[in-house]
Structures are given as structure tokens and as C-alpha cells.
Amino acid sequence: MPPRVEVADAERESWERELSASLGCAVELRWSRGRTQVVRMRRSTGPAGEPRIELALAGFFRAAPADVRAAVAAWIRSGRRARQACRRLDEWADEQLKLLPARRGTPQRMRARGAVHDLDELARELHAQGHLSGLLEPTATPPLTFGRAAGSRARRSIRLGSCSPRADLIRIHPVLDQPAVPRAFVRAIVFHELLHVAFPTERDARGRRVHHGPRFRRAERAFADHAVAREWERANLSALIRSARTGKPLAAQGAARTGPPRRAESSGAGLRRFVQRLLFGT
């Protein structure tokens, strides 16, 4: 009997052949252990400039029936416009996730207190200051931990936090545990993940899963640190991704400002400042 890894490779190759034929381009597939994003896709180009698709599927897709395979191809081709395919993927993924055993971080792996930021302290602060009043009781707050400090391959995006209801756990990306990342920003990420506990994923009228519904968005916008955190993220997201990928610390000067967003300076005001510097050195 061949080792399990050979069986898994054969299944992966079967998926790749089927999807490549259906989509008309090369497909590179890898299995993932993800439970929140069970299907992920990125378009790229091969050595000769030919289109390629890099696909990550949760491991349980190895046993997916033919209609689910077809739904994956339709989703890659048309995205959310393929409504029936998306609905089938959501339904099937939900069924498979219910069959998986719950995952909990072991005490040895839990790390709420980092070198710079303490996640438990931030959660207690959010409750004490009333930001979660009427939304989430302190006793319903799941454990928080920094994730493993592993190198990231992402170049355009990064997942700074995740909430796993089945595992009863909130993970925060370890790239945030460094001096150049403001406390207010980490606190906003913790608040966002706690809102996922207060407002679990639901389905809309079309049967699609909604992770950030209207109530979620209203509560987040009302949070005191929300606007500041969004502004800091826009200014520093590329640096965060680079830091997660390389393991090098985030440059302090890129993270210095955490005040309210600055108004865009008019071209006339900018020109006056430039002339003043030329004439008076100010």
C-alpha cells in the first residue's frame, strides 16, 4: 500500500489536470489547513509570460465530488458572479467543517503576552472602557494569542488577525508585536476580532456567507480607534507585509504618526511652502 503522501499527490495532480483543462491555463494547487479561508486563489504568470493560477484548497477538498470541483472552476472563472457555484461551495465547505475536530491551542503554544504588546491586557481594556458593552460579555471573550513567527510568502496582502469560533481562539499576526507598531493599532485589530465573536458569520438572502454585516460595520466604525487605525494601516501596510516576509523589524519612522488623518494639502499651499524654503530656508 503506497504512503499517504503519494495518494495526496495523485489527488492534487488530478485537480490540477481537471482545472487546467477547464480554465485553459496552468493551475498550481497546494493543500492548506485553513478553516476560515478554505479556497484561496492568486493569478500570476509563468517563465514565458503565460497565465497561471496558484490555488490553495483546504485538505478536505481531496474528497470533493464532481459538482464541487466544477464549482471551484466556476468560482475561479467568474468569482462571486457565479452565484450557484458559490452557494454550492459554501454549503459543502460548511458540511465538511462541521466534521472536523475542534482545534485549540495548547497552553505551551499560547502567547498572549508578546515582547511589546499584551493581548489579554488590550482585551480587558476594551471591556473596562465600555467599547464592547452590549456586544460581548467579558466571560465570552475567547483566548487570544500571537500566531507562530513563520516567514510569510504574501507580497500584496496580510491577515493581521483571525477568529476561529470552532477552535474558540483569536490569533493575532506576530508581525504586530514590535515597537514600531502603535498600541492603538493592535488594540483596533483585537477589537475587530472580538466583533467576530459578537457578530458571527451569517448568511444573506442569497445564501452567501457574510463575515462583516451591517451591524458589524456600524460597531467597528463607532470604535474610537477605528479611523486612526485605518489611516496607520494605509500608510504602513506595505512595510508590514515586507516585515512579515523578511523577518526584519518595521522601520520606526514609517510608524511614527498615529494621530488623526491629515487633510490633503492644496497645491497652492504646497507651492507657497516650497517657495518659502527656497527664499528663507524655513
Q: Which domain holds residue 60?
A: 4-99
Q: Is residue 127 located within the same domain as residue 62?
A: no
Q: Determine, yes or no, domain membership for 143.
A: yes
- The tens digit of pLDDT for each residue in 201-224 reads 877 777 677 888 899 999 999 999
For residue 16, pLDDT over 50 is answered with yes
89 and 55 in contact (C-beta within 8 Å)? Answer: no
Mean pLDDT, the chain, rounded, equals 81
pLDDT of residue 164: 78
Residues 22 and 53 in one domain: yes
Q: Give me the sign of the Cα torsion angle 172, 173, 174, 178.
A: negative
Say if residue 94 is in the same domain as residue 185.
no
Same domain? For 59 and 135 the reply is no
Average pLDDT rounded to a whole number, residues 7-30:
87
Amino acid at 47: P
181 and 227 share a domain?
yes
Task: For residues 207 and 242, state if they share a domain.
Answer: yes
Model pTM score: 0.58
Do residues 124 and 251 share a domain? yes
Element (H, E) at 174: none
* Cα–Cα distance measured from residue 98 to residue 45, given in angstroms and rounded to the nearest whole number: 36
Q: What's the gap between Cα 131 and its chain centre?
A: 23
| Residues in the chain, total | 282
- Work out how many domains the chain is built from and give that number: 2
In the block, cell 485553459 appears at 24
Are 84 and 148 found together in one domain?
A: no
